[in-house]
A and B are shown apart, each in its own frame.
Chain A
Amino acid sequence: MKAAQPGVKIRTRANLTGWMFIILAVIMIAAFYFYPMIQALLLSFKSGKGMNLHFVGIDNYVRLFSDKTFIAAVKNTFIYLIIQVPVMIVLAMFISVLLNDSKLKFKGFFRTAIFLPAVTSLVAYSVIFKYLFATEGLVNKMLTNLHLIAAPIQWITDPFWAKVTVIIAITWRWTGYNMIFYLSALQNIDHSIYEAAKIDGASSTRQFFGITVPLLKPIILFTSITSTIGTLQLFDEVVNITKGGPGNASMSISQYIYNLSFKYSADFGYAATVSYSIVIMIIILAFIQFKAAGDKNG
């Protein structure tokens, strides 16, 4: 018993030192993520203008279901999500498989070029896309010159095309970024697995679905969850490309929260309720994605 004492002491001291290293980060995350989260929950049961808030129970949550702007924003966000995230993930994975080929020339050039959009600020590229996709913009001019379209497309001012423009923009900005994760994962896959598959006569398509995709599953999960969270928080692009318009045709949930809090007569309580709807959606979607990844495992 006595002999064990000094060892225990050293270990407790080492343990305490360990806490010293992490305590600052814990305080900061608690103060600026978890505390506001709780505050938002409390706020979501209150209503009123500016700082004069009173308790209204679940009224705000009931209001969500009859709020046309909210419903439009949720619809738009889901359209972005359902179309953009899968397209981007598949594209990023496909490109990274092509780039991982050891016989490919100009690999460095292709990789850097495709990653390049990720260095731009969201606001800067959004403004550029707004101009490129303007009715008299360069994209329409090019498509007309190539005789692909007869009349200019109303990229920004048509409810359908406004959403398409936002989707094209986000895909342009984030595909290269996600590709980097796949590339670094592919570099860790042992080449002998493919050699063995080749000897067994597996085609490259079969190799892709039989070996590459299963091995990349953690990365697919990671990129689809981060992209889902990113899309649910979409703000900079929509605000700067379409301003959420025409009408509310391309408005995102984040933009609606911002408008409720800082543009219209400030209703912080209801804004917090809308923001909690994003939290609930993230939890549900992350759960589904984890489940989907897990089931294929089992």
Chain B
Amino acid sequence: MKKTIITTLLGGMLLLPQFGCEKFLDVDPAYTQDADNFFNTPVDYERALTGAYDLMQGSFMSVWIGEIASDNTIAGGESVTDTKGLHEIDDMSHVAVNQELRNVFRWNYAGITRVNFIMENKNKIDFQGKDKILAQASFLRAFYYFELVKFFGDVPLVVDKRLGADQVTTLDRTPKAEVYKQIESDLTYAISKLDWTAAEKGRITKGASTALLGKVYLYQDKFDEAATTFQTLIDQNLYTLIPNYNQLFTVANEGHKETVFDVEYTGAEGGSYGCLICLEGNAGPGFQGIRQYNGPVYGDGNSYNLPTKNLYDAFASGDLRRDATILDIDAFIAKQAKPADIKYAKGAGGHTGYYNNKYIKRQTEIGLPDNDLTSPVNYKVIRYADVLLMAAEAYARKASPDENKAKTYLNLVRKRVNLSDVTSSGQTLVSDIWNERRLELACEGHRFFDLVRTKQAASSITGFVAGKHELFPIPQVEIDLAGGNWKQNPNY
């Protein structure tokens, strides 16, 4: 009897899953989309693509590092422990434990993963316009990988698939050359599918793809390819230098003819410090704003990324770009109606008396609270002046230089700000182009990478150790999380 009962009980328990009870446990999340049954309509592809664009909004971090690491700016901020990673980079004392470098690493891979999610499913359905979506996605992947290569050199190359957690430990760092090959191939695909212009503001175009490809060539010292690529773009006559240099970065003037490729931001969504990558606004202008400022024109901010005297003095006295680039705060206040009423604070993270006047919080360009984080000002990744200067450099440095073309493009940039033509040649011309790049593009996030690329970093940056600081260290925690097998960059 007992045996029968026990057998029945055990039997019953064993069979529990079979009595239709399995269905009882099949609970679907209500009204929610699942990653594995997506990509059923063209709209699904569109939306996944929008998700892949999102990570470009983390560009403010690359811009900070690109300037702070160079001779252009110092880290600034409230104290030296306020975003300590930037202060260490400023000092060239940065090590593999650095939250800001880790953000660059992780955010760009998040963007790549979102692109790969689309690519993994690219053959699921066919529809008209799919190639344009895939082309934009390819561009984005190239952009994210290019950021990674600029910062870290060799990085693991993952293409067209998502990885499982245990697959990461089998990855190694892919040689830079191979990553560049992928970047070039993605950009070439984008160029082949996209139109020169896009109806929608903020969309990647063939123009943007071409400009980025030229830049990628330039970073590999492939001057011939770079020159050809830039020439193709210039010949399209799509872009011009806008007359007023002061109007380049204003919200009101957004989308002007000099914009080749920008990252879009808005002030229409609030934000908090808890998640900077979640912001829809640009964190740059607020962080770079004047600390505790209460006067006209500008808003108050966090005094990050402050231009140095070295940069201020680099401008010739008649160069109108100096004041457009650098705000001399004391001089500005002195010129106001009631200077005594205007106050601001010096951050203990450093004070130079100068602020970044290109990307700064202005009272007419304020987003929702916390408005230090929600600036609507777009970040200009590539503008036409940059294209012209890159083209000039490519022509001046290619195996058989075309110095006339180089000078033409260089002088176009100078003419806009009423400067006289450069007439030099040879290495002097190359140096003149480099110097023009610094002045024209100061505080836009290019300087450190230009110095490294042109091998001027050791002579320009205090504390820069050749053979070490050309690359940033791979964040130690990322090495650990990937199984500890990656070799760190030299001398870290």
Q: Do the two shown chains form a genuine complex with each other?
A: no
